[in-house]
Chain A
C-alpha cells in the first residue's frame, strides 16, 4: 500500500513536529531505520533514524552520547516513528478505481474510494468515503462499509453464511442468508479473511476494529469497538465481543458466546464459555490465568 519516499529533513524539524526537545546536534536525516535492522545498538526499546554516521534516536530514555548524534525523548517511540514515517517518508497510493474492478451499477460508492484490480462489488453494497479496497476482494450481499476502512487483498465479505439446518430426513438444508453486514468507520480487514452473512440477523463490526489476515467472522457476530483479532482467529456464529478485546493468533471462539470488554485471549485458545471483563484466558479449553501468576510471568519476561 505505502511506498517509501526519498526525503531529507532536519532533526530539529522532526523534534518540532513531535513537540519534543532535540538533545544533541542538528543535522539532515535521509532515511528511517528500525532498531532491528540497525545492528550496532543494544537498546531494544528505541527506534533509529540513520544518516551515514549521523544518527537520530527516538527513545523513551536518555541515550549515551557516543551512540548517536542526537536523540528525542518520547513517551511512545513506536507511535512517534509511525507518525514520522507516515508524514515524511512514505507515499500512499492515490485512491482510484482500477479499470478491471467489477462494480455493480447499483452499488453506492462514496468519494475518494480506492478499488483494486479484479475486485468484485455486488449491487446492495454501500461504501463510505476514503475507504481503500485492494485487489481480488469480493463484497457481496447487503453490506454497509464505513469511512476510512482498509480491506486487504483477497478478503471475502458477505459470502453465504454456513447456517445449515438438518431437515426431517437429516439432510442439511441451507436457508437463504439475507442478513446485513455493517462495518463501521476505520475498520481494517486483513488478506484472505472472510466475513459471513447471517440468515436474518445483522453481523456488526464496530468502529476501529482491526482484523488480521486469515480470520473468519461467523454470521451474526458483533465485534466491539477497538477490538483486535490477529491472524487465523475463528469467531463462530452469533458471538458478541466487547470493546478493546485482544484475541491472539489461531484462537477459536464457540458460537453464541459473550466476551466482555478488555478481555485478552491467548494463542491457540479454544473458548467454550462466556468470558468476563478485564481477564486473560489461555489454553484448550480456555481458562482464566490468575493475576498473581500473570505478574510473575511479566516479571520473568522483563528479566529475560
Chain B
C-alpha cells in the first residue's frame, strides 16, 4: 500500500484500494479514516461501516477487523496523508480585480484573491496565499508560505489617542511596521495593527484564528495558537507554543511566557510565567 509506505509504517490486514478520505461516522468501503483513540463507540462504528483503511492506535487496531496502520498520533498522520495524496494543488495566481501598488514587492508563487488591496511598501514572501478582500497596507513584511484568509486587514493605524488641553482626542500617528515570519496563518476578518514606532511581530509558525485583534507592538512567539475573537491589546508579548482560547483578552503590556494555556473567555491582567494554565475573569493560575 502506498499510504503505509509513505508514512513508513506497516499495514495490518488486507490492502484495499482507497479512493477518498472520510469521517468515521459516514465512511464507506473504499475510504480512509482516522481514529483518535480507542472508545467502544468508535470500535462499533468501525465494525459497522467497514472503511477500507483506518489510521489508529494500538488498542483499536487489536480489536478491529478493518485494515489498519498503527500510529502514535493518528490525526497528524492523517493530515500528512491528506496533504500528500488528496489536496488539490492550485496554481498560484493573482486575481485580475486585486490591486497591487507599484512599490509593493510580491514573491514567487503567491496567490492573491479577488478585490484584495496590497498597498505601498508591502513585502510579500514566496508561496503566500492571500484570500479575497484582504487589505494589507503600510510597512508590512510577510514571510514565506503565509496564509491570510478572506477580509483580514493588516497594517491599519493603531488605536492610540491622547487627550489634548481642550479634552479632544488627538490620534498618535503610527509609523512602525508589521513583521510576520514564515508559515504564519491569519484568519478571516482578523486585524493586525501597525506598530507605533517599533514593529508588531508574529514569529514563525504561529496561527491566528478568525476575528482576532492583534494590537500595535504586540509580539507573538513561535508556533503559538490564538483562537477566535481574542483581543491582544497594545504592546503585550506572548511566548512560544502557547494556546490562547476563544474570546480571551490580554491586557496591554502584559508578558506571557512559553507553553502557557489561557482558558476560554479569560481576562489576563498580569504577567504569566512559563508553562502555567490560567483561566477566569481576572485570569488566575489553575492547579
Binding site for B on A (CB under 8 A): 1-4, 32-34, 36-37, 76, 78-79, 81-83, 85-86, 89-90, 98, 100, 116-118, 134-136, 150, 152-154, 186, 188, 190-192, 208, 210, 212-214, 226, 228, 230-232, 248-250, 266-269, 282-284
- Is B45 interfacial (CB-CB < 8 Å)? no
When the two chains form the complex, which single residue of B117, B121, B151, B164 contacts A3, counting CB atoms closer than 8 Å? B121
Inter-chain pairs besides A81-B172, A136-B151, A268-B247, 19 sampled, C-beta below 8 Å:
A1-B137, A1-B174, A37-B198, A82-B173, A90-B175, A118-B97, A150-B171, A152-B157, A153-B137, A186-B168, A188-B159, A190-B191, A192-B211, A208-B168, A210-B159, A226-B169, A232-B213, A250-B247, A250-B267
With a cutoff of 8 Å between Cβ atoms, the chain A residues found around residue B133 in the complex are 118, 136, 154
Q: Do A230 and B135 form a contact, CB below 8 Å, given A83-B170, A192-B191, A214-B191?
A: no
- Contact in complex: B197, A33 (CB < 8 Å): yes
Binding site for A on B (CB under 8 A): 97, 99, 115, 117, 120-121, 133, 135, 137-139, 151, 153, 156-157, 159-164, 167-175, 189-191, 193, 196-198, 211, 213, 215, 217, 229-231, 233, 235, 247-249, 251, 265-267, 269, 281-282
The closest CB in chain B to the CB of A37 belongs to B198
With a cutoff of 8 Å between Cβ atoms, the chain B residues found around residue A34 in the complex are 196-198
- When chains A and B are docked, how far (Å) is the Cα of A186 from the Cα of B166? 15
- Contact in complex: A228, B161 (CB < 8 Å): yes
When the two chains form the complex, which single residue of A2, A83, A232, A268 contacts B174, counting CB atoms closer than 8 Å? A2
When the two chains form the complex, which single residue of A86, A136, A249 contacts B249, counting CB atoms closer than 8 Å? A249
- Contact in complex: A249, B231 (CB < 8 Å): yes
With a cutoff of 8 Å between Cβ atoms, the chain A residues found around residue B161 in the complex are 210, 228
With a cutoff of 8 Å between Cβ atoms, the chain A residues found around residue B191 in the complex are 153-154, 190-192, 213-214, 231
- Contact in complex: B281, A268 (CB < 8 Å): yes
Which 5 residue pairs of A and B lie closest in terms of their CB atoms, listed nearest first? Answer: A249-B231, A231-B213, A191-B153, A34-B197, A153-B135
- Contact in complex: B173, A213 (CB < 8 Å): no
Most buried by A among B173, B196, B198: B173
Most buried by A among B133, B156, B215, B233: B156
With a cutoff of 8 Å between Cβ atoms, the chain B residues found around residue A81 in the complex are 172
- Contact in complex: A268, B175 (CB < 8 Å): no
- Contact in complex: B175, A118 (CB < 8 Å): no
- Contact in complex: B171, A267 (CB < 8 Å): no
- Contact in complex: A284, B281 (CB < 8 Å): yes
With a cutoff of 8 Å between Cβ atoms, the chain A residues found around residue B230 in the complex are 232
- Contact in complex: A267, B169 (CB < 8 Å): no
- Contact in complex: B153, A152 (CB < 8 Å): yes
Most buried by B among A134, A153, A232, A282: A153
The closest CB in chain B to the CB of A188 belongs to B171
- When chains A and B are docked, how far (Å) is the Cα of A228 from the Cα of B281? 22
Q: Do A82 and B153 form a contact, CB below 8 Å, given A37-B197, A117-B99, A213-B191?
A: no
How would you classify the secondary structure of chain B's contact residues: helix, strand, loop or mixed?
Answer: loop
With a cutoff of 8 Å between Cβ atoms, the chain B residues found around residue A188 in the complex are 159, 171
- Contact in complex: A82, B171 (CB < 8 Å): yes
- When chains A and B are docked, how far (Å) is the Cα of A100 from the Cα of B167? 38
- Contact in complex: B189, A135 (CB < 8 Å): no
- Contact in complex: B151, A192 (CB < 8 Å): yes
Could you give 22 example pairs across A and B, Cβ below 8 Å? Answer: A1-B137, A2-B174, A3-B121, A34-B196, A79-B164, A79-B170, A82-B171, A82-B172, A89-B175, A116-B117, A117-B115, A118-B133, A136-B133, A136-B151, A191-B153, A192-B211, A213-B191, A228-B161, A231-B159, A232-B229, A232-B231, A268-B249
With a cutoff of 8 Å between Cβ atoms, the chain A residues found around residue B211 in the complex are 192, 214, 232
- When chains A and B are docked, how far (Å) is the Cα of A268 from the Cα of B139? 31
With a cutoff of 8 Å between Cβ atoms, the chain B residues found around residue A232 in the complex are 211, 213, 229-231, 249
- Contact in complex: B189, A226 (CB < 8 Å): no
Most buried by B among A2, A191, A226: A191
- When chains A and B are docked, how far (Å) is the Cα of A208 from the Cα of B235? 24
Most buried by B among A76, A83, A192: A192
Q: Do A190 and B159 form a contact, CB below 8 Å, given A135-B117, A136-B135, A249-B231?
A: yes
- Contact in complex: B247, A36 (CB < 8 Å): no
- Contact in complex: A230, B231 (CB < 8 Å): yes
- Contact in complex: B249, A267 (CB < 8 Å): yes
- When chains A and B are docked, how far (Å) is the Cα of A231 from the Cα of B168? 21
- When chains A and B are docked, how far (Å) is the Cα of A98 from the Cα of B168? 30
- When chains A and B are docked, how far (Å) is the Cα of A190 from the Cα of B159? 8
With a cutoff of 8 Å between Cβ atoms, the chain A residues found around residue B235 in the complex are 36
The closest CB in chain A to the CB of B197 belongs to A34
- When chains A and B are docked, how far (Å) is the Cα of A135 from the Cα of B139? 16
| Nearest Cβ on chain B to A212's Cβ, whole angstroms | 4
Q: Do A36 and B217 form a contact, CB below 8 Å, given A2-B157, A82-B162?
A: yes
- When chains A and B are docked, how far (Å) is the Cα of A37 from the Cα of B168? 28
